[in-house]
Amino acid sequence: MVEVIPTILTADIREAQEKLDRLEELVKRAQIDIIDGVFAQNRTIDPSAMEGIETTVDLDFHLMTKEPSDWVERSVRGGAGRVIGQVEMMSNQMEFLGKAQELGVSVGLGIDLATPVSALDEAVLASLDVVLVMSVKAGFGGQPFDEKAISKIKQLNEARGSGTFKICVDGGVTPELVGKISEAGADEVAVGKRLFDGDPAVNIEKYG
């Protein structure tokens, strides 16, 4: 069974709170997308803006930023239980891992659509909670799923062997694609707009 993780991509803290309120008692965790305007031509709320948010939902912070290590502390202050950093503008994956572990949060690495699995530091893999595979170009919502992600999921599934990290697929995931994604080896799917258009409870059910 694949876990559905609702994603919130917004520059408006009130929208983030409203969406989290709609998710109460529906899901265990949600993902807050953080984009700095450098990694992609888009900008969202700063992690520190999340400090005043009230929710019972566990939060993942997906850092689509230059040097994600510099954003870990702010994310933790904003309520992150897990931080996921994109590797494309990360100079040291081990440093990112160490920073997250030092602050007591779970840690993951993300690879963009054009980034190969080989970009992940093998020395870090065994210590990760999750590897996030982008199935659209990172930085913007509402894009269609790209099949290139499937072969990466399979590669990662083989690479982890009996390892413990989860594989999360993020971008353009429709209910019809869940079977194929799960079969390839994914454990989680991150879904944004599709979950919030209408009733989130009904929409989440469709992914079951």
Per-residue pLDDT averaged across 173-196, rounded? 96
The pTM of the full predicted model, rounded to 2 decimals, is 0.96
For 208, half-sphere exposure in the C-beta direction (CA atoms, 13 angstrom radius) is 8
CA distance 28 to 52: 20
Q: Which two tokens stand for residue 180?
A: 């194929």
**pLDDT for 208:** 79
Do the bridges between strand 130-134 and strand 166-170 make them parallel or antiparallel, or are there none, so unpaired?
A: parallel
Q: Which two tokens stand for residue 194?
A: 């599709």
Model confidence pLDDT, tens digit, residues 43-54: 999 999 999 899
CA distance 5 to 30: 5
Q: Where are the alpha helices (DSSP H) in 2-71?
A: 13-23
Q: What residues are annotated to the active site? A: 33, 170
Please tell me the class of the 3-206 domain.
alpha beta
Q: Which two tokens stand for residue 98?
A: 């160490």
For residue 34, the SS3 value is strand
Model confidence pLDDT, tens digit, residues 81-92: 999 999 999 999
Per-residue pLDDT averaged across 187-194, rounded? 95
**pLDDT for 162:** 67
